[in-house]
Amino acid sequence: MAIERANSTHTEPSQFREKYVDADGFHIRYLEAGTGAPLVHFHGAGGLRLSRSHERLAQTHRVILFEVPGFGNSPTNERFESIEDLGRTMTEAITHLGIDRFNLMGNSFGGKLALWTALQVPERILSLVLVAPAAILPDNHVQDALTRRLSTPSRTELEARMASFQPAVLVVWGTDDRMIPSEMGRVYVEKLPTAFFVLLYDAGHEADADRPEAFADLVTEFIERGAGFVVNRRSGVVHP
């Protein structure tokens, strides 16, 4: 069941509206705008943030930005034990919105969640966009409390499952990312059969917020072209 309310969390005019969906015992907040093919977004550890890139993407897609249980104003979430549990809950929420197949995007922790969600239901994924994902991390990387508590299958198991994932994947990293080094992007391209790695100049860890127009245009083109995306499979640089 979805419950709609006016979005009061942003002072600037926005086409996005705040809504709620009940799934797996959670009352999950989300923002939605636009029509067309669904584009579902999972935020990073800093919580749900609306940027100009989302507004731009909503011009051509039905964009849904979820607030993951345990973040933002939602109650403390001590129920989940693994990232896969969380992925199943978010899949149920998407299903309750009447969505079967969808494009999926995630930033940092949300990229990790998006990847594990996609690996559980690959037949429902139209395309996958990972923005500086935190699924595969360098040594000594510090994680937040909830993300640290959630258990994750080993990297060996993750990479084995990635090897059979067929939907097209776009991996985006800002060249100025100081949280997770952009070199990690090449690991995803090596392990995923149909993946594209793009560096976005003059952008940090939140590349979509730092370069909203360039990011939105990049994602729109990728969703439209899929495996026919024009960027070379091994690497690419975008600096319009």
pLDDT at 192: 95
**46-68 confidence digits (pLDDT tens):** 999 999 999 999 999 999 999 99
Strand pairing report for 17-23 and 2-5: antiparallel
Q: What are the pLDDT digits (tens) for 207-239?
A: 999 999 999 999 999 999 887 775 444 445 554
| Across 84-106, average pLDDT | 97
Rounded-to-integer distance, Cα 113 and Cα 203, Å: 22
Give the containing element (helix H, strand E) for 189.
helix 185-191
- Mapped onto helix, strand or coil, the DSSP state of residue 108 is coil
Structure tokens at 240: 């319009």
Structural domains of the chain ordered from first start: 31-238 (3.40.50.1820)
Give the whole-angstrom CA distance, residue 150 versus residue 200. 30
What are the distances in angstroms from CA 176 to CA 102, 201, 203? 30, 7, 6
pLDDT digits (tens, 9 = 90+) for 115-159: 999 999 999 999 999 999 999 987 665 557 556 667 677 888 999
Tell me how many degrees the CA angle 147-88-227 measures, rounded to the nearest 5. 90
- pTM for this entry: 0.87
DSSP letter string over 112-126? HHHHHHHHH-GGGEE
